[in-house]
Chain A
Amino acid sequence: MRESATTKRGHVWSYCYQCVAGPDLLQVVTQDDVPTEIRPNAPAAAIHPAGGKVCVKAFGLIQKTHNPNRIKTPMMRTNPKKGRGEEPAFKPVSWDTALDAIAARLREIRETGLTCEQGFPRVAASFGGGGTPTAYMGTFPAFLAAWGPVDMSFGSGQGVKCYHSEHLYGELWHRAFTVCPDTPLAELIISFGANVEASGGVCGVRRHADARDRGVRRIQVEPHLSVTGACSAEWIPIRPKTDAAFLFGMLHVILHEIPRERLDIPFLKERSSSPYLVAPNGFYLRDPESRKPLMWDLATGRAVPFDTPGADTALEGEFRVSGIEEGPDDTEWVHQDITVRPAFSHLVDHLSPYSPEWAAEICDVPAARIRETAQAWMDHAHVGETIEVDGMTMPFRPVSISLGKTVNNGWGGYECVWARTLMAVLIGGLEVPGGTLGTTVRLNRPADNRWSSVVAGRDGFMNYPMNPTDRENWHDRSISRHEHQTLVPLAANSPWSQALGPTHLAWMMQRQDLEHLPHTPPPDLWFVYRTNPAISFWDTGAVSEAMAKFPFTVCFAYTMDETNHMADILLPECTDLEGLQLIRIGGSKYVEQFWDNQGFALRDPASTPQGEARDFTWIATELARRSGILEGYNRAINKGAAGVRLFGEGYDFSLDENHPHEVEEIWDHVCRAASAELTDGAESQGLDYYREHGFRAKPFPRKRWYLYPVMVEKNLRFELPYQERLLRIGQELGARLHETGITWWDRQLKEYEPMPHWQDPPGIYDAALKKAYGATVEEYPFWLITARSMQYSWGGNAGIQMIHEVAANVAGHGGVVINTRAAARLGIDEGDPVEVASPIGTTRGRAILRSGIRPDTLLMIGQFDHWKTPFAKDLNTPSMNSLVPMLLDLTDATGSGADLVRVRITRSGGTK
C-alpha cells in the first residue's frame, strides 16, 4: 500500500474479546487518525500463548467501526405495535431525551418495587456469548450491581449453543467451567465434535498446531469433517448424538478387556470415590458415628472411614459390613452385616453391557475402531510416570478427551461428560500435566482463582453451591423467570447461575405458564447488549414473538437487527475500537486461555466515536445518575465491578462516591489499582502507562494450571465415578416438585443417576418430535447439525462485509452442506436451491456438496436467517435456529437442549 508523504500514521493498543476464547491483544494502525489496520500485538508475544496474535474476527473491527449501516444517534420507537411485520418507525432523539426516558422508567420501577408480585426482577438483561460483553460494557456491571436484582434468564444461546453439561458437571467434579486438554503436553486427544480450530481462539489454534508438530494423535469423532477434523490425524464419522455410546464402549474396553494393573490404581484409591462402599439403596455406607463413607481396608480387613490414613482400600470385591445409609430428606437406613461392594465394582458392572459391538450398532462406527481408540488411550496414558512442573513432581498423563457443542448439551450430555471425566480418572489423568484440565470457574467462588475455589465439602470431595433441594430451603420459586433455583440444583447460586439455567424456559413461559409455577410476566424493562436472541436462540420465531410483547426494551445498538427491531429505545454505544476499558488477561480462563502470565490490557479508543455514539462507561454513569443510584454505582466500581478493586493493602484509588466521574478519570483509577494489584501496592501507574504499553503482566505459575497439587494438599478426592450426591438431590428435587404438584419435570428427574446409563438420545429426539408434531423419522430422515465458524462465532459480525468475503473461502459457509452421494440420490446438484424443513418450519439455501459428511446428516454453519440486519439480510444464508423446537421433552435435567433437529431436504424451485 503506497502512502503519500503527508500521511500521518499512528498506532493504538487494544484487545479483541469478541469470543470466549479471548481475550487477545492487538494493535490498531491509524492513518490520518482513521483506524485502518488491525495487527497482532508484537510486544505481547513474550507473554501471550499465541505470540500476540488475533484471529480473523478482529480484522473485521475496522469495517465494524465505519460501517455505514451503524446507528449513530439515540432512537425512540414511534410505532407502539411490535412484531416482525411492524415497522418500528424509530426517530432520532437526543441523548438527554433517551436517557431521561429510561431513567424515568427505572425510577418508576424503583418506586413500585424491584421485583414484581410473583417475585421476579422487573428489570431484565440479556448479554451475548460467554460473558464477553463485559469486556466492552465499561462500568455497566457497576450499574447493574447498584441497581439490585436483575433477571438474566432470557437466553440468547445459553443452554443450547454452549457446553452446558460440561459447565455444570465440570464445575462439580474439577472446577472446570470449561474443560481442555493440557495441549502443550498432550500426546493423544480424542475430540468428540470439539471444533477447536474454529472456536478455540488463537491460543487453541497455536497450541494444537504446536502439538501436531510434536506428532500429537488427535482423533476427531464427528458427523462431518470439520475444520478440526481436517486438522486431525484421524476422522471418525459418528452418527449424530451417539457420542455417549462410543465413550461407553471405550470404558467397557478399559474396564473389561484391559488388565486392571494398567489403570492408575493409586489415583483411583486416593483421589476418586472408587473405593467408597455402596449400600443397598444406592447411597454410601457410612460409619454410624462419624457418618463418613466407608471403604474396605485390605490391610486390616475391615471397613474404615474414607479419610483413614494409611488404608489400603479395595476397589473390587464383596464385603460384609455394618453401617448406616443416608438417603434423601434425612432418610436413614441402618444396615447390619450386609454385603456391599465398592463403587468401582458397581462401575465395572454398570459398563458391562456397553461393549464396542453394542456401541458400533448405535454409532455406526466399527467396533474395532472403538476398541482400538480405547487401546490407544491406554497406550498413550503413561500411567505411573511423573513430570516436574515449577519444581513440583506431578503425574504425567498426556491423554485427554474434548467434547464439543451438541455432544455436550441436551440429552446425552451427562453421559458424555461423565464418561469423558471418568476416562481421565481411570488413568489418573484428571487435572494433572498432559491430562484433562478445567481452565476457569464461574459457578464456584472465587471466580478468578481455581485453587482458592477448592474448598473441602462433605465426604472428602470438593463442596459445591447447589441450589438447595431439602424441604426447608428449596426455592419453590426462583429469582429468575426460568426457575433455575427451583429446577436445576447444579446451576448453583453464583452471579453466573442464571445464565446456566434452562434459559429457554424463560421464553417458553412467556407464551404459556408452566403448571404449578408462578405466572411469569414480562420484565418492565429489558436491557439488551451484544446479542441477538431473535437469531441466535432456538425456535427463533417463538422467541421473537415473546420479545415483541415486552413493554420497554432498551437495546445498545450497533446496527438495526432482528432483536432491536422490537426495541423502544436504541442507544448507540462506542464499539470495540472506540471505547475505553481495562480488562484482566492471562492466568487461567476459558478454553485454551491458560497462560504463563497474568495481568491487564487496555482497550484504548483508536477512533473518535461515529456520530453520537457514546462510551459505555459514560452511558452507565449517566443512567446511574439519572436513575438516582449514583452512590451505589460508584461504590460498586470501588469494590471491583469494573474488573479491579480500587483499594487494597497499601493503596486506595477509590472514587468519590457522591459525584459522577468522567470516563477517563474512572479508568485512570482502575489502571492505578491494577498496577498496584500487580505489584503488591508498590507501583501505581495510571491510564497513560497502559496507553503507552497496552498491557502489563506478571508471571502466572504453570503449576496453577492443575488442580492436582491443591487436591493433594487438602487431601480431597474427585467425585467420580459414583454420583451419590446427585442421586440424593435428584430424589429430593423429585419429592419437592411432586409436593408442589409438578410432574412435567419427571423425565428430567430420571437423569439423577449415580452412574448414567445409555438413554438413547436420538430416540428421545425422535419420540419428542412424534409426540409434539406427529413427525416420523421417515418424514424427516436427516439430522441437521451446525458448527461454529472461526470467522463468525460469537462475533455478531454477520453484517461485516469483509468477514463474509473471507469466510466464503472456507467450504460450508453460506448454504446447506450435504453428502455428495446423498445429494445425487435426491437429484440435488452443487448450488441447487434447497428447502430444509423440520416439523416447525422451513429454511432455504443453496446446496453445498461435500464428501466429508455423513449421508444421513446435513450441516448449516453459523447462525443466519437474518431479515433485518443490514447486509446480512441479503446473504440468503440458511440457519438451523428457526427449525429447532423448544420443547420440555428436549430439555435435559440441567436445563439444556442440543443444537440438533430432524429434517428433510428437497430441491426447491428457482434457478441456480
Chain B
Amino acid sequence: MTRYAMVVDLNRCVGCQTCTAACKHANATLPGVQWRKVLDFETGDFPDVRRAFLPVGCMHCDEPPCMEVCPSTATRKRDDGIVTIDYDICLGCAYCAVACPYQARFKVTERKAAYGKAGRMRHEDTRFDPAMMGVAQKCTFCVDRIDQGIAAGLTPGIDPEATPACVFSCISGALSFGDLDDDQSNVSRLLREHRSFDMHAELGTGPNIHYLYEGAASTDADETGDTPTPALQPDTTGLAAVSPRLQTNWDWRAAGNFIFGGTGTGLFAASALAGLSGPFPRLAALAGLALVALGLFCVWQEIGRPWRFLNVYRNARTSWMTREALAAILLFALGLPAIWLASTALGLLAAAAGLFFLYAQGRILRAARGIPAWRHGRLLPVILATGLTEGTGLFAIGAALAGGGRAVIWALAVLLVLRLAAWHRYRHDLGAEGAPVETLRALDRDRLALGWQAQAAVLGLVALALLWPAAGLLAGLGAMLTGWRFKFGLITRAAFTQGYAINRMPARGAGTSAPGVKPGWTREDGQQRLSA
C-alpha cells in the first residue's frame, strides 16, 4: 500500500512563505485563499522568548472528519491517503469546513481580483476555474502532479515534477513528502531519526503532516513522553493569527435551520402529543412543518451550489446532514398526510421523524470537529431539550391564545428544567475540559438566554401561567425566544475554530526544544469561570 504524508522539519523552516506562494501559483487560488501557509508562533516572556514557524494546510487525515460529514460524498480519501474533493458534486454546504479542526478548507463565493476594481490580470482570466466557485476547496497534495508523475514513472517526493508544489519550492528543505508505508522512504526515515508531534492529535483524526522538533538522539529535559502536548494559553496577544477565530462558513442562515428546525420539530411533536388527548391540532402541526421548511430554506440560501441540493442525499452512511435531510423527507411525507387526514397516529409517526430530524441536528454539530463549542458531547442534550422546549413554548402560546392548555404549561416547565440542566452540564464540562477562551466568553455573554436568570424568569412565567393561563403566552414566548437566542449565539458567536497549536517549540541547531503552546485556549478549574 501507499500512504502519502508530509513531514515538516521545524528546525529548518524559516517561515518565508515560499511554499505559500508556490501553492497559490500551482493551484491558482484566489486572493486571500491559502491552502498552504506558514504560521508564526511566539512563546514566553521577554527576554526568554521563542519563535517558530509552522506550515499548515490539509492534513489528509487517516480519519478525515471532513469526509465523514460530507453529505455529497464530494470529499473522498484515496487508497494512497490523499483526501480529495470532487468539485462537480460538492454542493458548497461548508460542513466539511466546520468539521476540519485544521481550518484547511475554504469556500469561495466571490471571484475576487487581486487588484480589485483596477481590473483582472491576464493570468487571473487564464487560470480561473468556475468549477471551484461556491464549493469546498483545499490542499490536494497537488494530486495531479502526483498522478501525472507516477504515470510518467516518477516518484512523488523524490522527483520534483511528481512532488507537491510547496515541497518542491521549499527553499530551506523543511518540507518532505513521501510514502509512510515504505520504511525506506524519506519521510519514514525522517520520522525515525527525529522526535515529532502531530497537531491536535487528541482529536483522533490521524493527521498526515508530521512535525519534527528535535533530533531523536538529543536529550529533552522538559519532555518525558513521546507525544508532547502544548500548554493552553488564554492570552492571545501577538498570536491572533494562530488563535481560534470565529468561523464564518455558517452564518445566520445556518442558525436559522437550527432555530426553525428545532422549534418546528418540537412544535410538531407537541401537536402530535396533544392529539392523544383531543383533536389533532392541524394548524399547530402545519406551523411546525412550515418552520422546518423555513429552516431548510434558510440553509438552502447558504449553500454555495443551491441547485445541487439533491446531492445532500448521497452520504447516508456517515453524514448526519444527509440523515437530517432524509428525516425531513420522512417528516413531510408523514406530517402532511397527518395534517390532511387529522390523523394523530400518522402525526406521531411524523413526530418521531421530526425528533430524529432534531437529533440529527444535534449530531451535525457533534460531528463538526473543527468547532469546539459544537463538537462537545454535552451539547446534544441541549439541542434536543431546547428544540422541544421552543416547540412546546410555541404550542403554549397557541394554547394561551386559544384560552387553555394547563398540561402544556406543565410540559413546558419540565422541559425548561431539563434544558437548564443540560445547558449547565454542557457549559461546565466544556470549560472544565478546555475550550477557546472566546467561545466561553461568547457562551457566557449569551448565558442570559439559557442561564439561571433568564430561565428563572421564564419559569416564573410558567408558574404564573399555571395560575393565570393567559400568562402561558409570555411563558411560551420566553421559552422559545431564549432558545432561539442561545442557538443563534451558538452558531454565529460562540463558534470559534480549533485554532492552531505547536506542541513543542523546535530545537534550532545546537539549541534545545521547549514547551509548546495552544493559544487562545483555557481550562476552567472548579466553578471558576471566565468573566464575560
Chain A proximity of B472: nearest CB distance (Å): 46
- B39 and A809: CB pair below 8 A? yes
Q: Is B109 an interface residue (CB 8 A)?
A: no
Task: Flag if A59 contacts B25 (CB, 8 Å).
Answer: yes
Docked pose: A472 CA to B46 CA in angstroms: 58
Q: Tell me if B402 is interfacial: C-beta within 8 Å of chain A.
A: no
**Complex contacts, A202 vs chain B, CB 8 Å:** 171
- The proximity string for B residues 110-142 relative to A, scoring 1 for CB distances below 8 Å and 0 otherwise, is 000011001111111011010100000000000
A801 near B: Cβ within 8 Å?
yes
Contacts of B9 in A (CB 8 A): 213
Any chain A CB within 8 A of the CB of B442? no
Query: CB distance A212 to B12 under 8 Å?
Result: yes
Q: Is the CB of A1 within 8 A of B510?
A: no
Decide yes or no whether B37 CB sits under 8 A from chain A.
Answer: yes
Interface residues of A in 804-820 (CB under 8 A from B): 805-807, 809-811, 819-820
Is there contact, CB below 8 Å, between A34 and B126? yes
Q: Which residues, 304 to 351 on A, are CB-close (under 8 Å) to B?
A: none
Q: Verify B123–A36 contact, CB threshold 8 A.
A: yes
A235 to B14, CA, bound (A): 15
Of the stretches A215-223, A521-529, A716-724, the one at the interface is: A215-223
Q: Let me know if B174 is at the binding interface, CB within 8 A.
A: yes
Q: Are A209 and B44 in contact (CB under 8 A)?
A: no
Interface presence of B45 (CB below 8 A): yes
- A 38-68 to B, binary, CB cutoff 8 A, 1 in contact else 0: 1110100100001101111001101100111
Of the 9-residue stretches B233-241, B305-313, B476-484, which lies at the interface with chain A?
B233-241
The reply to whether B509 and A217 contact each other, CB–CB distance below 8 Å, is: yes
Measured in the bound complex, the distance between the Cα atoms of B293 and A42 in whole Å is 57
Residue of A with least CB distance to B127: A36
Of residues 2 through 37 on chain B, the ones whose CB sits less than 8 Å from some CB of chain A are 9, 11-12, 14-18, 20-22, 24-28, 31-32, 34, 37
A768 at the interface (CB under 8 A from B): no
Give the residues in chain A near B147, CB-CB below 8 Å: none
A237 to B21, CA, bound (A): 32
A213 touches B12 (CB 8 A): yes
Whether A664 is near chain B, meaning CB under 8 Å from some CB there, is no
* Complex partner residue of B46 from A36, A234, A851, CB under 8 angstroms: A851
Interface flags for B372-405 (1: CB within 8 Å of A; 0: not) read: 0000000000000000000000000000000000
Are B22 and A36 neighbours in the complex by a CB distance under 8 Å? no
A691 to chain B, nearest CB (A): 20
With A212-B12, A809-B17, A819-B46 already in contact, the answer to whether A68 and B118 are too (CB < 8 A) is: yes
Query: CA separation between A230 and B27, bound complex, in Å?
Result: 30
B123 in contact with A38 (CB, 8 Å): no
Q: Does A740 contact B (CB under 8 A)?
A: no
Is A830 on the interface with B (CB-CB < 8 A)?
A: yes
By CB atoms of chain B within 10 A, which of A53, A68, A202, A225 has the most? A68
Q: Is the CB of B46 within 8 A of A852?
A: yes
Question: Is the CB of A854 closer than 8 A to any CB of chain B?
Answer: yes
Out of B51, B120, B170, B507, which one reaches A229, CB within 8 Å?
B51
Complex CA–CA separation, A51 to B28 (angstroms): 24
A210 touches B20 (CB 8 A): no
* Cβ-closest chain B residue relative to A871: B115
Q: A62-B25, A206-B173, A237-B47 are in contact. Are A40 and B160 (CB under 8 A)?
A: yes
Q: Which chain A residues lie closer than 8 Å to B160 at the CB level? A: 40, 42, 45
Give A819 to B42 CA distance when docked, in angstroms. Answer: 12
A215 to B512, CA, bound (A): 10
Contact for B170 among A53, A225, A810, CB less than 8 A: A53
Interface presence of B40 (CB below 8 A): yes
Q: By DSSP majority rule, is chain A's interface helix, strand, loop, or mixed?
A: mixed
CA distance A480 to B484 in the complex (A): 77
The answer to whether A68 and B115 touch across the interface, beta carbons within 8 angstroms, is yes
- Known contacts A1-B27, A36-B126: A809-B46 contact under CB 8 Å: no
- A693 on the B face (CB < 8 A): no
A624, chain B: closest CB distance, angstroms? 32
Which of B79-100 touch A at CB < 8 Å? 87
A219 to chain B, nearest CB (A): 9
In the complex, what distance in Å separates the CA atom of A218 from the CA atom of B11? 12
Within 8 A of B (CB), among A54-97: 54-56, 59-60, 62-63, 66-69
Complex Cα–Cα for A520 and B394 (A): 88
How far does the Cβ of B271 sit from chain A's closest Cβ, in whole Å? 49
A231 touches B508 (CB 8 A): yes
CB of B114 within 8 A of CB of A227, answer no
CA distance A234 to B39 in the complex (A): 21
> Which residues of chain A in 844-870 are interfacial with respect to chain B, using CB atoms and an 8 Å cutoff?
848-855, 870
B47 touches A820 (CB 8 A): no
Tell me if B238 and A820 are in contact (CB < 8 A).
Answer: yes
B53 at the binding interface (Cβ < 8 Å): yes
Residue B172, interface by CB 8 Å: yes
Asked if A851 contacts B32 (CB within 8 A), the reply is no
Assembled-state Cα–Cα distance A820/B9 (Å): 29
Check B169 for interface membership: any CB of A closer than 8 A: yes
A2 on interface, CB distance cutoff 8 Å: yes
Q: Whole-angstrom distance between the alpha carbons of A206 and B13 in the complex?
A: 10
Task: Choose one: A1, A218, A809; the contact of B28 (CB below 8 Å).
Answer: A1
| Chain B min CB distance to A547 (Å) | 27
Shortest beta-carbon distance from A369 to chain B in Å: 10
Chain A hits for B20, CB < 8 A: 56, 806, 809
Known contacts A69-B115, A850-B238; A1/B49 CB under 8 A: no
Bound Cα distance A853, B45 (Å): 10
* A232, B505: Cα distance in complex, Å: 12
Task: Determine if A1 and B144 form an interchain contact, defined as CB atoms under 8 angstroms apart.
Answer: yes
Q: Is B168 on the interface with A (CB-CB < 8 A)?
A: yes
Whether A811 contacts B47 by the Cβ 8 Å rule is no
Given the complex, which residues of A lie within 8 Å of B284, measured CB to CB?
none
Nearest Cβ in chain B — how far from A181, in angstroms? 13
Which residues of B lie under 8 Å from residue A848 when comparing CB positions?
238
In the complex, the chain A residue whose C-beta lies closest to that of B119 is A68
Q: Note all chain A residues with C-beta closer than 8 A to B165.
A: 39
B-chain residues with CB within 8 Å of residue A806 when the two chains form the complex: 17, 20-21, 24, 34, 37
Does the CB pair A209–B172 fall under 8 Å? Answer: yes
* B269 CB–A CB distance under 8 Å: no
A692 within 8 A of B: no
- Chain B residues, CB < 8 A from A38: 21-22, 25
> Is B38 in the interface zone, CB < 8 Å from A?
yes
- Distance (whole angstroms) from the CB of B220 to the closest CB of chain A: 15
Q: Which residues of A contact B172 (CB under 8 A)?
A: 205-206, 209
Closest Cβ of chain A: how far from B471's Cβ, in Å? Answer: 45
Q: In the complex, A630 Cα to B295 Cα: how many Å?
A: 78
Given the complex of chains A and B, what is the CA–CA distance between A802 and B27 in angstroms?
14
For the complex, give the distance between the alpha carbons of A42 and B168 in Å. Answer: 9
Q: Which residues of A contact B17 (CB under 8 A)?
A: 56, 790-791, 806-807, 809-810
B123 near A40 with CB under 8 A, answer no
CB-CB < 8 A to A810: which residues of B? 15, 17, 38, 40
A residues near B237, Cβ cutoff 8 Å: 820, 830, 849
CB-contact partner of A206 in B40, B46, B49, B171, under 8 A: B171
Q: Are A851 and B126 in contact (CB under 8 A)?
A: no
Residues of the B chain whose Cβ atoms lie less than 8 Å from the Cβ of A819: 46
With an 8 A cutoff between CB atoms, is A730 at the interface? no
B-side contacts of A215, CB under 8 Å: 509-510
CA distance A830 to B14 in the complex (A): 24
Q: How far is the CA of A826 from the CA of B240 in the complex (A)?
A: 21
User: Is B161 interfacial (CB 8 A cutoff)?
Assistant: yes
Contacts of B51 in A (CB 8 A): 225, 227, 229-230, 852
**Chain B contacts of A206 at CB under 8 A?**
171-173
| Smallest Cβ-Cβ distance to A870: which chain B residue | B118
Q: Does A573 contact B (CB under 8 A)?
A: no
Are A811 and B121 also in contact (CB < 8 A) when A225-B42, A801-B114, A806-B20 are? Answer: no
Supposing A36-B25, A55-B16, A235-B49 touch, asked if A62 and B241 sit within 8 A by C-beta, the answer is no
Q: Is A265 an interface residue (CB 8 A)?
A: no
* 5 intermolecular pairs with C-beta atoms under 8 Å apart: A1-B27, A205-B171, A230-B52, A821-B45, A851-B44
Q: Give the top 4 A-B pairs by smallest Cβ distance, nearest first.
A: A233-B511, A66-B121, A230-B51, A59-B21
